[in-house]
Structure 1
Amino acid sequence: MPRTQRNDNFIDKSFTVMADIILKILPTNQKAKEAFAYYRDGMAAQADGEYAEALENYTEALTLEEDPYDRSYILYNMGLIYASNGEHDKAIELYSEALELNTNLPQALNNIAVIYHFKGERAKEMGDAEGAEQLYDRAADYWKRAIRMAPNNYIEAQNWLKITGRSTMDIYF
């Protein structure tokens, strides 16, 4: 049974009805409408924690979607799933692909930074201080890019950059 027929709560049903109306009245081709339907179902599955189903829907949406901006958000959402499943390298790959299509995704830059910081913490725990520093530097580079795009966001990252001496930026809110 399609996800659009399984929504149990009022908000999900309302969203589905609105999305279906928008799909019907959008002046776009059938392929783009189908891509949006798969994307919508992917988001719903992801919200329900059904990651395998979400990835299937996102993968199908990617095969149909031609717009780079829309593709970037599909890839970004796929990256979220892989990151939450601990598949950090795959998540970084997907976030990077999303950034190639849409350079205005500070959240993807932030998420890559978080992964590199996490890897730095792991390297530090394993006694690899030099490797940890390299990973922290990579995290810092991504956080600086994200903060330049969204200066009022990522306050914890801004503090970490200041405390560790990795940034002298004057962007801080």
Structure 2
Amino acid sequence: MPRTQRNDNFIDKSFTVMADIILKILPTNQKSKEAFAYYRDGMSAQADGEYAEALENYHEALKLEDEAGDRCYILYNIGLIHASNGDHEKALGYYHDAIELNPNMPQALNNIAVIYHYQGDQAQEAGNSDLAESFYDRAAEYWKQAIRITPNNYIEAQNWLKTTGRSEMDVFF
């Protein structure tokens, strides 16, 4: 039984019913519909903290999904799981794959910046200021891209860019 059919709360059941209706009426092929079902089950498992199950579903969805716009969200979610598990290098790979398909995906750009900033903090704590500055510069570049796409978001990043002198823009929003 698909994961989404096991949901026992009203909101999850409502979402599942609506998603099933949309899936039935969408003018798309069966392969895309199956990909969406795997993606939906992956999101459900991810929300429950069942990361291994979510990854299995996302990878199945990737095998079936041909549309770049949909693939980028699958890749992004896989990146989220790897980041939450502390595997930042793997997460970066998936985020980069996502923005390769959709360069205007600010959430992936932001998450890349967050990882680079974290790596900068780690390098700073280890006493390697040059490496830390390199990571911070990378973080700044990705945050600037995300902010250009969604100027009213990432306020903390905007403040960090201003206070560290890494911003060429006076006002982001």
1:168 deviation in Å? 2.2
Structure 2 residue runs without a partner (length 5+): none
Is the contact made by 1:79 and 1:91 (CA closer than 8 Å) also made in structure 2? yes
Give the Cα separation in 1 of the matches to 2:155 and 2:60: 36
Aligned residue number for residue 28 of structure 1: 28
Structure 1 runs (4+) deviating above 2 angstroms are 170-173
Is 1:66 the counterpart of 2:66 in the alignment?
yes
1:60 deviation in Å? 0.1
1:104 deviation in Å? 1.2
Is 1:56 the counterpart of 2:73 in the alignment?
no
Aligned residue number for residue 119 of structure 1: 119
Aligned residue number for residue 102 of structure 1: 102
Aligned residue number for residue 140 of structure 1: 140
1:170 deviation in Å? 2.8
Aligned residue number for residue 165 of structure 1: 165
Aligned residue number for residue 7 of structure 1: 7
**TM-score (normalizing by structure 1):** 0.98
Is the contact made by 1:147 and 1:171 (CA closer than 8 Å) also made in structure 2? no
Is the contact made by 2:106 and 2:146 (CA closer than 8 Å) also made in structure 1? yes
**TM-score (normalizing by structure 2):** 0.98
1:7 deviation in Å? 0.2
Residues 32-47 of structure 1: pairs in structure 2 closer than 5 A? 32-47=32-47
Is the contact made by 1:4 and 1:16 (CA closer than 8 Å) also made in structure 2? yes
Matched residue SS, 1:77: helix
Aligned length: 173
Is 1:150 the counterpart of 2:120 in the alignment?
no
Amino acid across the alignment from 1:70: D
Give the Cα separation in 2 of the matches to 1:134 and 1:4: 44
Structure 1 residue runs without a partner (length 5+): none
Give the Cα separation in 2 of the matches to 1:133 and 1:9: 47
Is the contact made by 1:148 and 1:171 (CA closer than 8 Å) also made in structure 2? no
CA RMSD of aligned residues (A): 0.8
Amino acid across the alignment from 2:169: M
Give the Cα separation in 2 of the matches to 1:115 and 1:17: 37
Amino acid across the alignment from 1:100: E
Percent identity for Structure 1 against Structure 2 = 76
Give the Cα separation in 1 of the matches to 2:36 and 2:147: 30
Give the Cα separation in 2 of the matches to 1:170 and 1:18: 44
Matched residue SS, 1:167: coil
Structure 1, residues 91-144: CA drift from partner, whole Å, max 9, x if none? 111000000111110110000000000000000001111110000000001111
Matched residue SS, 1:94: helix
Structure 1, residues 37-73: CA drift from partner, whole Å, max 9, x if none? 0000001111111111100000000000000000000
Is the contact made by 1:151 and 1:171 (CA closer than 8 Å) also made in structure 2? no
